[in-house]
Amino acid sequence: MNRTQTHLTAYAMLFPALLLLGVFTLYPVLYSVFLSFSKYTALELGAGKPPSWIGLENFRVVFSDPLYQTGILNSLKYLLVVPILQIASLGVAVLVNQKLPAIALFRVGYYVPVITSLSLAAVMWDWVYAKDGLLNAMLEGLGLLSRSSAFSWLINENTALWAIMFVTFWQGFGYYMVLYLAGLQSIPAELEEAARLDGATKAQVFWRVTVPLMRPTLLVCSLISTLGALRVLAEIIVFTGGGPINSTYTALFYVYDKAFKQFNYGQGAAAGMGVALIGFLLSFVNFRLTRENYREGK
């Protein structure tokens, strides 16, 4: 088989996947870009009218909307969960990578929240965060909260966003732990043993051998968690619906509100473009911070 036939065979095998990718990913993205510059609401849709081009008007309206600005700010606050989640997941991955009795049970236990449905998790965490729930009972037992000052964590504007962030941490912790565990187990044991024979301490082996070799895994996990935190939506819908007093109103919830509740598809698409731009910038920062610079020997 010559080179041309090999390429044709490869593309023929890729064609079904590329077709699905184009129909369900590329086309919606390009159409959303077009809608962001167009006027298209439920009225036009019901009347069978096509979107009408209005330039940057949607962006002007959306970016000047205080509610969208609040959503952007809350989404940026939500990113605080990312470094905490990554550090904790990596630390536990190092622990469960040890050869200890019944360590497989611990790995499974940490992963259970990942496969727990959000609806079931919502029932549990609603009970935990309730005024007479488990969290307040624990704080009362520790003497940090009195019964008279107890409150529901999800209906308090000062704590609602942080409470949902902890649910994200709880549900994503096991997922990233497994990814880091896979990365740790892919490192040749001979490299770490050689470093120990050269007199390196456990801490030095971890920071100078393990972490540099884990950079691809660190990049993947940081990218996934950053973008996941930026586009958090299901948790907001299930727990608070953007309240109380818009304290959990995120940027992607604004997109959902505009497009699927107010049926203003043009402004919803423009808001989505803003979220996508922030995601692109954060991804660029992640690449810059975690990539290996071979020219400088780092």
Q: pLDDT, tens digit, for every residue of 13-46?
A: 888 998 999 989 899 999 999 999 999 888 887 8
- What is the pTM (predicted TM-score) of this model? 0.86
Residue whose C-alpha is closest to residue 225's, from 291, 158, 165: 165
Select, from the ranges 1-5, 9-13, 269-273, the one with the highest average predicted confidence (pLDDT).
269-273
Average pLDDT, stretch 114-141? 89
pLDDT band at 215 (very low <50, low <70, confident <90, very high): confident
Reply yes or no on whether the pLDDT at 295 is more than 70: no
Cα(178)–Cα(172) distance, rounded to whole angstroms?
A: 10
State which residues form the domain around 70.
44-116+160-290
In a domain, 152, yes or no: no
The whole-number average pLDDT for the span 206-228 is 87
Contact yes or no for 176/89 (Cβ under 8 A)? yes
Q: 279: number of CA atoms within 13 Å, CB side?
A: 18
**Long-range contact list for 187-195, CB < 8 A, 24+ apart?**
187/213, 187/214
Q: Give me the pLDDT at residue 104, please.
A: 79
Is pLDDT of 220 > 60? yes
Q: What is d(CA 185, CA 282) in angstroms, rounded to the nearest whole number? A: 28
Is the model's pLDDT at 292 over the cut of 60? no
pLDDT for the residue numbered 276: 92
Distance CA(9)–CA(63), nearest Å, equals: 48
Measured from the Cβ of residue 70, the count of other Cβ atoms closer than 10 Å reads 18
Tally Cβ neighbours within 10 Å of residue 248. 27
Q: Is residue 138 part of a domain?
A: no
Q: What was the pLDDT predicted at 20?
A: 92
Is 232 inside any structural domain?
A: yes
Q: What is the pLDDT of residue 291?
A: 66
Q: What is the CATH number of the domain that holds 87?
A: 1.10.3720.10
> Is residue 3 a part of any domain in this protein?
no
As a whole number, mean pLDDT of residues 83-98 equals 89
Q: Is 80 exceeded by the pLDDT of residue 242?
A: yes
DSSP type of residue 153: T
Q: Is residue 228 part of a domain?
A: yes
Look at the chain and report how many structural domains it folds into.
1
Q: By percentage, how much of the chain surpasses pLDDT 70?
A: 97
Residue 35 lies in a domain: no
Q: How far apart are CA 262 and CA 267, in angstroms?
A: 10
67 is a domain residue: yes
Residue 25 lies in a domain: no
